[in-house]
Chains A and B, each alone.
Chain A
Amino acid sequence: MFYDWFLDALRQDYELMRVIKESARGSIRLLRHRKTGKKFILRQFCGSPEVYRKLLLISCANLPDIYEVSTKGSETLVLEEYIEGDTLGHLLQGALFSTWETRDIVTQVCQALWVLHSMEAVHRDIKPENIILRGRDAVLIDFDAARIHKPTLETDTRILGTVGFAAPEQYGISQSDPRADIYSLGVLINVMLTGEHPSRCLASGRMGRIVERCTRVNPAKRYKNVLRLMEAF
């Protein structure tokens, strides 16, 4: 079986550097190729591989390269590019971002989302911990919660996402579509500027108005797509 063969190959030629995250849903491990020393991220989780499979064919500066995807039952195995840098969540523990920095980073996240949304995928877990700053690049990671938007479904089949960042429709009000990610982007912008959820402290001025529009409960009232959000900056 390919899954087993691939797992065996990884065990033979790669060494485990550390376990980044482990939970009942799965794990994230940092591996190093013994011959070349190149680092990789190995994801094992129970969930749909469809977004990762689409990303196999894609190269984008704001998304990690996905090298291999394999499944066994409900388990999915993904080998992806290791993005060296700090997560936004880590940086936000000690500082806030200026408007200019926020606009620059969020614009890059929008670039990543535009690629995902163009594939009819919704990330559904936009949050500071899933954005890594690699030099000047902001890279959006972790597509475990991502799913392909199916216009015929009324509600999401599984509730995924991060409380506070997830859009209301991700809790079953309706099926999440790209506008769910726009909601999360609004929260992200507000957190980068104020350190707070917009419900507690809305950013001031123009960025506050952008956040307010991103985080409207009715998806139809939000920016139609990330392009419109980028234009609003």
Chain B
Amino acid sequence: MKDAKAAPEKQNPCPFCGSSLPDGAAFCPRCARSIRPRERQKALRPLRKKVLQLTALLTAAAAVAGAIWLYVRPQTVEGEGGVDYTDQDGSYQVIMARSDGTYEPQKEFHQSAEQGQEYRTPLCITFYDSATGENVSHAMRSKIEYATVAIEPLEQTDRPWQNTEPAYNNARPMCALTTFLNFWLESGDARLTWTLHMKNGDTLRMHTQLFIEEIPTVHYHPDTTPMHTIEELQELIDRISATVPKDTIVYIHLPAVTYDGGLSINNRPVNLLGSEEGRTVFTGNTQIVIDGGFISYFDNLDFLGDGIGIGLSASARVHLTNCTISGWKTGVLAYGRTWVNAMDCCFKDNQVGFHFNAADSTPTHSTYSNNKFTNNGTGMLLESVPTDISLKFHHSVFTGNGTDIDNRCGQELDISQAIFQ
């Protein structure tokens, strides 16, 4: 820049004509050319209002579309033990629980187990209409694309929780889906996630904490505890009933003796384990009457009668394994609120081998496998069976009975693998 004070003495030649120009000159007046480069200004390109309006319109349309999408988009609903879920048809309370009889989401799932034993328990999904409380599991099941159950152990274990594939279960018709959980005490605590993938794209995810508590056990052995006579055994059982807490599982390891006289087990379940060195025999009526509690396991026992009376009368949940029931008017009578199961047992020479006449109980096992019904007047008499689950007689053998199975209550049976000779 130049002004009156600028010294014109310093000279520079014009790059075009060579004329001498004062320092800082922007123009050569001699050749009339500008000697300083200029910056070309780019034309301003404003956004036209129409473009702005179009943009605003598109933005508004996008906002509306976004709002619609937010409303109809596939949703993921997550909760502990259950979720509240709304689809295009209504609102529902989805419950994860052991059965269909509860409206309470099962946020925690406590199980008791004893060392080395394997257990199985159901876990169900039930839908209720939020407005009416009506069980709508059947209708909602048709909206489920598929379901998964994942169990994440919370501690290291060699025997993790396992589950069957979620499916409709005939025994739980009020539930949409049921899975069975298999576990051991060693399975430890875990977190279960049940995911329902709905056909409309929604995802329902329910969690529950699985806890296992060890069941205390106590064992009685014949070398330390008097139990060689029916009196000693009865006294032991009575003492156990009076002193051992009911949440303790009791094992009585019986000697290879014959107990003459009847035995009565009341108040609490006990497990009677016959000797493996010989047979443990009961010749009198054994009666077990317990309301609830653990299953009583009777293993390796012989109930031998003289043609009259009842070998084992049970109004309690009893599982018989490897037992012989012979020579009774009725070998085993299940009555009242009970469930009696038998496997690997022999019913022979009874007027009735196994008489099922129970009600209001929950089946604990539906398989009657590997039994032998031999020379009974009636091998199996089904007067009343408290379940519509099919009883399965896999590999059970019926030989020489007057009537193999007298199914008076029309119980559903699976005898496809039974053998009738």
Task: Let me know if A67 is at the binding interface, CB within 8 A.
Answer: yes
Say which residue of B27, B38, B46 sits within 8 Å of A79 (CB atoms). Answer: B27
| A57 on interface, CB distance cutoff 8 Å | yes
Known A13-B30, A53-B1, A58-B39: A111·B44 in contact at CB below 8 Å: yes
State how many angstroms separate the Cβ of B81 from the closest Cβ of chain A.
58
Docked Cα-Cα span, A134 to B39, in Å, equals: 21
B31: chain A residues at CB < 8 Å are 35-36
Q: Beta-carbon contacts of A35-77 to B below 8 Å, as 1s and 0s?
A: 1101010000000000001001111110101011111110000
Interface residue count on the B side (C-beta < 8 Å): 29
Contact yes or no, A9 B29, CB < 8 A: yes
- CB pair A68–B27 under 8 Å, yes or no, is yes
CB neighbours (8 Å) of B44 from chain A are 110-111, 114, 226-227, 230
Say yes or no for A232: interface residue by CB 8 A criterion: yes
Assuming the contacts A3-B2, A69-B1, asked whether A33 and B47 have C-beta atoms less than 8 A apart, the reply is no
Question: In the assembled complex, which residues on chain B have CB atoms less than 8 Å from the CB atom of A6?
Answer: 2, 25, 29
Cβ of B48 < 8 Å from any Cβ of A? yes
Q: Is the CB of A68 within 8 A of B25?
A: yes
What per-residue 1/0 map shows which CB atoms of B196-221 lie under 8 Å from chain A?
Answer: 00000000000000000000000000
Query: Known interface pairs A71-B4, A114-B44. Does A9 touch B30 (Cβ–Cβ under 8 Å)?
Result: yes
Which residues from chain A contact B4 at a C-beta distance below 8 Å?
Answer: 1-4, 70-73
Question: How many whole Å from A47's CB to the nearest CB in chain B?
Answer: 14
Contact of B32 with A2 in the complex, beta carbons under 8 Å:
no
**A10 contacts the other chain (Cβ, under 8 Å)?**
yes
Our count of residue pairs bridging A and B at CB distance below 8 angstroms stands at: 94
B27 partner residues in chain A, CB cutoff 8 A: 67-68, 79
- The answer to whether B34 touches A60, judged by C-beta atoms less than 8 angstroms apart, is no
Q: With a CB–CB cut-off of 8 A, which chain B residues contact A3?
A: 2-4
Is the C-beta of B8 less than 8 angstroms from some C-beta in chain A?
yes
Q: Is the CB of B49 within 8 A of A10?
A: no
A59's nearest neighbour on chain B, judged by CB, is B38
CA separation between A228 and B29, bound complex, in Å?
A: 41
Q: How far is the CA of A230 from the CA of B38 in the complex (A)?
A: 26
Structural contact, A71 and B29, CB atoms closer than 8 A: no
In the complex, A36 Cα to B44 Cα: how many Å?
34
Contact present for B32 and A59 (CB under 8 Å): no
Closest to B3 in A: A71
Q: Out of B8, B26, B43, which one reaches A56, CB within 8 Å?
A: B26
Within 8 A of A (CB), among B1-20: 1-6, 8
B residues in contact with A115, CB < 8 Å: 41
- For residue A5, CB closer than 8 A to chain B, the reply is yes
Contact of A13 with B49 at beta-carbon distance under 8 Å, contacts A57-B38, A79-B27 already known: no
B37 to chain A, nearest CB (A): 8
**In the bound complex, CA of A110 to CA of B46 (Å):** 11
| Contact indicator B46/A231 (Cβ below 8 Å) | yes
Contact (Cβ within 8 A) B2 A59: no
Q: Are A2 and B22 in contact (CB under 8 A)?
A: yes
Find out whether the CB atom of B34 lies under 8 angstroms from the CB atom of A67.
yes
Q: Which residues of the partner chain B approach A1 to less than 8 Å between Cβ atoms?
A: 4-6, 8
The one of B3, B29, B40, B49 that contacts A59, using a Cβ cutoff of 8 Å: B40
Given contacts A67-B26, A67-B27, A72-B4, contact A59 B41 (CB under 8 A): yes
Complex contacts, B24 vs chain A, CB 8 Å: 2
B41 A2 Cβ-Cβ under 8 A: no
CA–CA, A9 and B28, complex, Å: 9
B39 touches A13 (CB 8 A): no
Within 8 Å CB of A226, what residues of B? 44
Known: A1-B8, A5-B8, A13-B32. A59 touches B39 (CB 8 A): yes
Is B41 in contact with A58, judged by CB distance below 8 angstroms? yes
Query: Least Cβ distance of A128 to chain B in Å?
Result: 22
Q: Is B36 interfacial (CB-CB < 8 Å)?
A: yes
Residues on B with beta carbons closer than 8 Å to the beta carbon of A13: 29-30, 32
Contact between A231 and B26, CB atoms less than 8 A apart: no
CB of B52 within 8 Å of the partner chain: yes
A68 to B36, CA, bound (A): 10
What residues of B have a CB within 8 angstroms of the CB of A73 in the complex?
Answer: 4
Residues of chain B lying within 8 A (CB to CB) of residue A10? 29
A183 at the interface (CB under 8 A from B): no
In contact, A2 and B3 (Cβ under 8 angstroms)? yes
Contact of B34 among A5, A65, A233 (CB under 8 A): A65
Contact with A along B106-148 (1 / 0, CB 8 A): 0000000000000000000000000000000000000000000
Q: How far is the CA of A224 from the CA of B34 in the complex (A)?
A: 36
Residues facing A in B161-189 (CB within 8 A) are: none
Nearest B residue to A33, CB-CB: B32
Docked pose: A63 CA to B44 CA in angstroms:
14
- Residues of the B chain whose Cβ atoms lie less than 8 Å from the Cβ of A232: 49
Q: Provide the bound-state CA to CA distance between A73 and B4, in Å.
A: 7
How far, in Å, is B337 (CB) from chain A's closest CB? 86
A5 contacts B22, CB within 8 Å?
A: yes
Q: What's the nearest-Cβ distance from chain A to residue B43, in Å?
A: 6
Which one of A33, A60, A61, A69 lies within 8 Å of B26 (CB-CB)?
A69
Give residues 234-248 of B contacting A (CB, 8 Å): none
Cβ of A165 under 8 Å from chain B:
no
Residues in B with CB closer than 8 Å to A230 are 44, 46
Residues of A122-175 whose CB lies within 8 A of B = none
Specify the chain A residue showing the minimal Cβ separation from B47: A231
5 contacting pairs across A/B (C-beta < 8 A): A2-B6, A53-B1, A69-B1, A70-B2, A71-B4
